[in-house]
Every structure is written in C-alpha cells, then in structure tokens.
Amino acid sequence: MNFTEALEAALNRQRPSAEWLVPLLEAQGEEEHRLFCAADSLRSEQMGQAVHLRGLVEFSNHCRKNCRYCGLRRENLKLSRYRLTRQEIVEAAVWAEQIGYKTVVLQSGEDLYYSADSMADIIREIKSRTELAITLSLGERDEITYSRWKEAGADRYLLRIETTDEKIFRNVHPDDELHQRKQCLLVLKELGYQLGSGILVGLPGQDAWSLAGDVVWMHKLGVEMIGIGPFIPHPETPLKHERGGTLSQALRLVAVLRLVFPFAHIPATTAMGSLDPSGREKALQAGANVMMPNITPARVRQLYELYPNKICLDEDAGHCYACAASRIASLNRTIGTDRGDVVKAPRCRSPRDGAP
C-alpha cells in the first residue's frame, strides 16, 4: 500500500493493520508533513484545543529491576538513590493543585519500599486534601496491590509495554516476561483504571513493522493514554553504544497513534524536549494533547536520570507550569480546565464497512 492509500485507510478509521501502519510510520519529507497535519487536525476535531497538564512527582529512583536501557537500573551503582517521604509526596501534590494542576502523576522505579498499604495511605491522603485525579506509574505489582490502590482512590495507571516484540523485549528486560507485563495491563483494565501504556522508540532491532505490531496490540487492549519516548542511550547502561531513537520516529508514531486512537490522551514527552528544544511543541502539532511538567522537589530531580541530558532539572514547580503554559499559548492552544479523564472511543470500522 502506498502512503496516500495508507492515510486514507487511517482517516476512514479502518481497523489498524501493519499493511497501512507501516507506510505511515516510514513517511518522509512531504508525506511525513501530511501525516502530521492529518493527525493534528483530527486531534483538533476530536479533542479540541485543550492541552492537559499532569504534574509529575518522581518520588523514588530506587528500582529492583535492571532494564538494559534505563539509568535507574539496579546495577547503576554510580547513581545516588533517594526516596521522598509520605509527607513530601503529599505536599508536592497539594502544591500542584495550588499551582493549577488537575492531575498528579506519582512515578517511581519499581521500589517495594512503598508497600501496597503505604502507597494506599498516600493516595487516600492526597484524595482527602485535594480534588486531583491521581495517576500511578509504579511498574509491575500483583493484583491485590493494584486493587488496593484503586480502592484508595487512584484513577489511572501507566505501565508502558515498551515493545510487544518478544525478542526485543527479552533483550532489553532481563527481569521481565512480556506475557507478565501484558497480564498486568489486563488486570489494571479489569480493575477499572483509566489505562495507559506506551512504547520506547529506537530500541535495537526495532523497525516500522515491529512498531506497527505494538499499535495493533495496544488497539486490541483498548489503551486510553499512550506515552511515546524516544530511546536515548544512557552512558551507565549496557546499551550505551546504541544509536537510540530519533525525534522524527517518535513524532511519526505519535501521529499514527492519534489517527488510530482519536480520543486517547497522548503526551508530548520530556524525552522529546530533551532531543530538541521544540520537541514538545512539535509533538503537540503532530497529535499530542498532554504535557507532564515535572513537580518533583528540585533537590532530587537530577537523580531521576532515566536517560542523559534530561531537561527541566533545576526549575521549581511553579516555573515548569508557567513554561508549559507559555509553550501551549505559543501554539494558540489552551490549558485544559477539567481533569482530562479518558474519553470512551467508538469502535473502528472493519475494512468491509465501506466509506463513512
């Protein structure tokens, strides 16, 4: 299928398949520009002009895992480790609401120091003191734990699959099983979380066919929030000599995801801004509708080093909000005034359903 036919298939809301996803993911030059314009206009039509801001608290950089691309991996002994106290986490959330956020994202490495009960207490306290939506991004845990956090008031959960290619997944995740990660996502969905996943773009061995497989899988699962990170090699990891992903690859995937998931919340990620000072604005013009400014206390922010040259490390939370607001205004967009909960999507057409 050529690019024009593939774009037509996307705009006709055909069920995603590699046949038309691959030509879009490989688009270059003028075709890439057409892809971004189509995604941007669908975002505007379906999601409006609002960009939802989620305040991100990276509350612990301890991790029990050893993912081969990640600066927080347990064998990175050069990294100083930190944990925020319950009070520090809650105060960061309360402050986020005062600044204007409607959602707080609590993220950490896989750190079992925060038990099912202690995290539940933190969630309950934030809920009792604020009106914030709470998104958790704490990795793989068991069903009882996920369930306890949901009962405590957590609204959303982000667990990136990173890749659904069995071989690539095994190569970069020495501690994990792909089927186990998928099972966690199914459990989270069944428990009623607003469900987020995502992909790391530019992993060794990954190509457009592999990314197309990821899109098809996420569509079947019915994810509602999708985070895309370009892989940026970290010097203290086994993948330090790899090439990594590019901003263009990540932007094309954002655009394709917008076409496949018209109602999903898709962030312009900090990693995109780390590759290019305008990376987040470019993502917002290629289908993204969310930003996640960092509200982690500045004294530990530099230590959450998933990848090198991460931006926004020295700023305070108020500065990051203002910076995001001015970037959004520069695109004639507005800051979302509600919580930005998920919008339930209608079903796709089968290719046999014909034109809309």
Q: Is the Cβ of residue 72 or residue 250 nearer to ligand SF4 in the bound state?
A: 72
Residues 19-58 that bind ligand SF4 (CB under 6 A): none
Which part of the chain contacts ligand SF4 (CB under 6 A), choosing from 69-77, 214-222, 292-300, 330-338? 69-77
Distance CA 55, CA 38 (A): 29
One-letter identity of residue 318:
G
Stretch that binds ligand SF4, among 67-75, 93-101, 276-284, 294-302 (CB under 6 A): 67-75
Residues between 198 and 227 with contacts to ligand SF4, criterion CB under 6 A: none
> Which 3 state secondary structure label does DSSP give 76?
coil
Q: Pick from 65, 81, 83, 124 the residue near ligand SF4 by CB under 6 A.
A: 65
Q: By C-alpha distance, which of 311, 260, 258 is closest to 289?
A: 258
**Nearer residue to ligand SF4 within complex by CB, 170 or 319:** 170
The site for ligand SF4, by CB under 6 A, has a size of 9
Q: Which residue has the tokens 């999601």?
A: 47
List the structure tokens of 74.
Answer: 């347990």
- Residue 223 CA to residue 264 CA, distance in Å, equals 8
**Least Cβ distance, residue 42 to ligand SF4 (angstroms):** 31
- Long-range interactions of 275-284: CB distance < 8 A, separation 24+: 275/230, 275/232, 275/246, 275/247, 275/250, 276/247, 279/247, 280/327, 281/327, 281/330, 281/331, 282/247, 282/251, 283/250, 283/251, 283/254, 284/51, 284/327, 284/328, 284/331, 284/333
Looking up tokens 């206009």 gives: 41
Q: How many residues does the chain have?
A: 356
Among 16, 139, 196, 287, interactor with ligand SF4 by CB under 6 A: 139
Q: Which of residues 87-116 bind ligand SF4 (CB under 6 A)?
A: 109-110
Query: 282: helix, coil or strand?
Result: helix
Of 70, 133, 266, 292, the residue at the interface with ligand SF4 (CB under 6 A) is 70
* Closer residue to ligand SF4 (CB): 24 or 72: 72
Which is closer to ligand SF4, CB of 112 or CB of 343? 112
Q: Which stretch binds ligand SF4 (CB under 6 A): 45-53, 61-69, 78-86, 297-305?
A: 61-69
Q: Least CB distance from residue 181 to ligand SF4, whole Å?
A: 10
* Of the candidate residues 22, 39, 63, 132, the single one contacting ligand SF4 (CB under 6 A): 63
Nearer to ligand SF4, 146 or 321 (CB): 146
Cα dihedral angle (216, 219, 223, 228), rounded to 10 degrees?
40
Q: Which is nearer to ligand SF4, 63 or 225 (CB)?
A: 63
Closest distance to ligand SF4 from the beta carbon of 72 (Å): 4
State in angstroms the smallest separation of the CB of 2 from ligand SF4: 37
Alpha helices in the chain (DSSP H): 3-11, 18-25, 29-47, 86-99, 116-129, 143-152, 166-172, 178-190, 208-221, 247-260, 270-275, 279-284, 298-301, 317-330
- Residue numbers at the binding site for ligand SF4 (CB under 6 A): 63, 65, 67, 70, 72-73, 109-110, 139
